[in-house]
Every structure is written in structure tokens, then in C-alpha cells.
């Protein structure tokens, strides 16, 4: 987000809670995401009125109604496109896109990849529950092969998208992943996303308690999470496991799970996370790790600097305006007249 920092020191979570009853199912992971965003926003030093939440259609996309900020619940799949216009017209706002795996990756896939490619300074939070919730349980572009749903009674045969992987292929300047059940981690990631200048793409693994309950259990469950989550920290070697006894090492171009101490493996042998690497090679490698062979990377995969689109647009305009001189009635008249005129008397 851009915009000056105003006197917003006194904002609290409460300021971001709207008067609308929250209408998600009991146990839905969306509640946690709402709560974390409401907690993080007051800390960012942005005046409340500068926030605008734009969403598409889906359970997740009801989000803006619950935020006491400016909000626009648009149409299915188009949040990124609407937000692109809003942010390009109004770079002073902090514009957040709330979308689902269906909204953002199925019908809205094109707008998403183009918004990321352009590096529009949007904070895109994709609630990935690997299902269409609002339409009552069809498979989505992130559903796993073999998934039985209302529209795939014999099991899905489609290879799913990996959202962070796809975002990286669009040259995303900020890519992260977090989990509905990990409030602290989510807050950290959201804060980082908010502070990034340029597009920030955040995938949140979100449980749909009604149509896809337990979809992420194998990595989020308390009992396995230490084994199954690889917490990324910039500049730190990649360790995981209950006591941090495991790690990731590279063998040529293939990452490998190793146990520290075994076969003489020391921390120095491990891959070190570098979210700021100019090339996305490491981030791409990380994006592909996951259950069952690897732990699933959680945290910021990539964060690099690049001029946001919306700022570039307005800098160019300002530059031209500066050199062309003030725009007044005379300039307008000149514009209307064009180059070649003649008089009739």
C-alpha cells in the first residue's frame, strides 16, 4: 500500500469490525482470516478510510461486508480487474483483493495473472479451500486428482494449479503462503504483504468445514504440523521437524529432506532461504515442495522490489504535466482545436 501515514495510532481491531452479522458456517476457516486482517490493519499506520476491500463472488468474497472499511463485493472472478482500475485511478488507497480458489483461479484466472504480471500494488489474499463453497461443493482448480465432489462423482481427473507456483511464473514480486489455523503466522505474512510495494499474492490454506473438511489436515493438524510445515525465514537455513532436526538440502537441482547429524549433515549444508533473490529460482523450487515427500513451505517465498504499475502511471503523467505546463482552459481549447484549423467568416 502507498499513501502517507496519518494519525491512525489509536485504531484498534474493533474499528475494522462492521455492523454486519458474519454469515459463514460454524467452523469455517474464513473467520480466522477475517480476524487476523482486522488485527493487522490497525497496526499499519494507514488511516482507516484509505483501505478498500474488493472481492468477487464466493463464500470468501463476502469478506468486505464484515470490514468497516470501504468495500466492493463485485462479480465472480473480476475482483482483480476491478481492483486494478481502482488502484490505478487511486494509488493513494490501500487496495485489498479477497478471492477464492474458484473466484481467483477458475473464472478469474486471467485477471489474476495479469494483475500480478503488471505488478499493480494490490494485496491479493486467496482463500484456498480447494472447493467451491458457495455453490455447495464442486471441485475447484486446486482440488486434488481423484477428488469426489458433486460434479465429479467418479473423481476429478484434473491436475490442480499450485497458486504460488503460478504467481511466480507471472513474475510476482511478493508471494507468500499461510494457514487459517496459524493466526500469528498469518498476521506476520499479512503485515509483510501490506508493507510490500507492488503486488502481494498471499495464499491462505483455508478449511471449508462443510464441503471439504480437513482438506489440509495432513499439514495443519497439531500432531503433524512440525513435521509437515517448513517455516520460511529469510537468510535462515531451512529446518523443520519437532525439534528442528530435519532440513532441506540441494542435490544438483533436486531438494532433499535430510536429518541433521545423520551422515554428518550440518546446518551449513542446508539450503538457506533468500526471499529477495533477483531470480525466482529458489522460490519456484520451494513452491513445488509439499506433502507427502516434503514439508509444505509456509511464509514469504519471494519479496523483491520493482516499480508498481500504478505508481509508474502517475509518475509518467506528472512528468508530462510538468514539462507541458499547467492545464487550464487554454490548454483545453488547444486540445479541441488540434493541429489544423481554418476559419469561416
User: Among residue numbers 205 through 224, which ones bind ligand SF4 (CB under 6 A)?
Assistant: 208-211
Does residue 312 bind its own copies (CB under 8 A)?
yes
Residue in the structure block whose three cell numbers are 515427500:
293
Does residue 171 bind its own copies (CB under 8 A)?
yes
Q: Strand pairing partners for 123?
A: 96, 200
For the bound state, the minimum distance from the C-beta of residue 137 to ligand TPP, rounded and expressed in Å, comes to 9
Q: Using alpha carbons only, how large is the chain's radius of gyration in Å? A: 23
For the bound state, the minimum distance from the C-beta of residue 95 to ligand SF4, rounded and expressed in Å, comes to 23
Does residue 92 bind another protein (CB under 8 A)?
yes
CA distance 75 to 82: 9
DSSP 208-263: BTTTBTTTTHHHHSHHHHHHHEEE--TTSB-EESTTS-EEEEEETTEEEEEETTGG
57/270 with CB nearer Mg ion = 57
Long-range contacts of 155-158 (CB under 8 A, 24+ apart): none
Tell me which of another protein, its own copies, Mg ion, none is bound by residue 119, counting a contact when its beta carbon lies within the kind-specific cut-off of 5 to 8 angstroms: its own copies
Tell me which of ligand SF4, Mg ion, its own copies, none is bound by residue 101, counting a contact when its beta carbon lies within the kind-specific cut-off of 5 to 8 angstroms: Mg ion
Interacting residue with its own copies among 25, 157, 276, 331 (CB under 8 A): 157
CA distance 9 to 38: 15
Helix (H) or strand (E) run with residue 2 in it: none
Of 9-17, 21-29, 44-52, 270-278, which part binds ligand SF4 (CB under 6 A)?
A: 21-29
- Axis-axis angle for helices 309-324, 79-89 (nearest 10): 30
Whether 227 contacts 240, CB under 8 Å: yes
Tell me which of another protein, ligand TPP, its own copies, none is bound by residue 276, counting a contact when its beta carbon lies within the kind-specific cut-off of 5 to 8 angstroms: none
CA distance 240 to 333: 68
Of 2-10, 96-104, 191-199, 299-307, which part binds Mg ion (CB under 5 A)?
A: 96-104
Does residue 299 bind ligand SF4 (CB under 6 A)?
no
Interacting residue with ligand TPP among 29, 33, 35, 58 (CB under 6 A): 58
Binding to its own copies by CB under 8 A, coded x per residue (else -) over 211-230, reads --------------------
Interacting residue with another protein among 159, 262, 268, 345 (CB under 8 A): 345
Residue in the structure block whose three cell numbers are 539450503:
271
Interacting residue with ligand TPP among 8, 18, 135, 209 (CB under 6 A): 135
Amino acid at each position: 500500500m502507498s499513501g502517507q501515514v496519518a494519525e491512525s495510532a489509536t485504531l484498534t481491531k474493533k474499528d475494522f469490525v462492521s455492523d454486519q452479522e458474519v454469515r459463514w458456517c460454524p467452523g469455517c476457516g474464513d473467520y480466522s482470516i477475517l480476524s487476523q486482517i482486522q488485527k493487522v490493519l490497525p497496526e499499519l499506520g494507514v488511516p482507516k478510510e484509505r483501505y478498500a476491500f474488493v472481492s468477487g463472488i464466493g463464500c470468501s468474497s463476502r469478506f468486505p461486508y464484515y470490514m468497516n472499511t470501504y468495500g466492493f463485493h463485485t462479480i465472480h472472478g473480476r475482483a482483480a480487474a476491478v481492483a486494478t482500475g481502482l488502484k490505478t485511478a487511486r494509488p493513494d488507497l490501500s487496495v485489498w483483493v479477497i478471492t477464492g480458489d474458484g473466484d481467483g483461479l477458475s473464472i478469474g484466472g486471467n485477471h489474476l495473472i495479469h494483475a500480478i504480471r503488471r505488478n499493480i500494488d494490490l494485496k491479493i489474499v486467496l482463500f484456498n479451500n480447494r472447493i467451491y463453497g458457495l455453490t455447495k461443493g464442486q471441485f475447484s482448480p486446486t482440488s486434488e486428482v481423484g477428488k469426489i465432489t458433486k460434479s465429479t462423482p467418479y473423481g476429478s481427473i484434473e491436475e490442480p494449479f499450485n497458486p504460488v507456483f503460478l504467481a511466480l511464473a507471472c513474475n510476482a514480486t511478493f508471494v507468500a503462503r499461510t494457514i487459517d489455523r496459524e493466526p500469528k503466522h498469518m498476521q506476520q505474512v499479512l503485515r509483510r504483504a501490506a508493507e510490500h510495494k507492488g503486488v502481494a499474492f498471499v495464499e491462505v490454506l483455508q478449511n471449508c468445514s462443510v464441503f471439504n473438511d480437513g482438506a489440509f489436515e495432513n499439514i495443519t493438524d497439531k500432531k503433524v504440523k512440525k513435521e509437515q510445515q517448513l517455516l520460511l525465514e529469510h537468510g535462515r537455513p531451512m529446518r523443520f521437524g519437532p525439534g528442528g532436526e530435519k532440513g532441506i538440502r540441494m542435490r544438483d537441482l533436486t531438494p532433499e529432506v535430510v536429518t541433521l547429524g545423520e551422515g554428518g549433515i550440518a546446518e551449513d549444508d542446508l539450503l538457506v532461504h533468500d526471499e529477495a533473490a533477483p531470480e525466482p529460482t529458489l522460490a519456484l523450487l520451494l513452491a513445488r515442495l509439499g506433502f507427502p515427500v516434503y514439508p509444505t513451505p509456509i511464509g514469504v517465498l519471494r519479496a523483491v522490489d520493482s516499480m508498481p504499475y500504478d505508481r509508474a502511471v502517475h509518475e509518467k503523467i506528472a512528468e508530462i504535466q510538468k514539462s507541458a505546463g499547467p492545464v487550464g482552459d487554454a490548454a483545453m481549447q488547444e486540445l479541441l482545436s488540434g493541429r489544423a484549423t481554418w476559419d469561416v467568416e
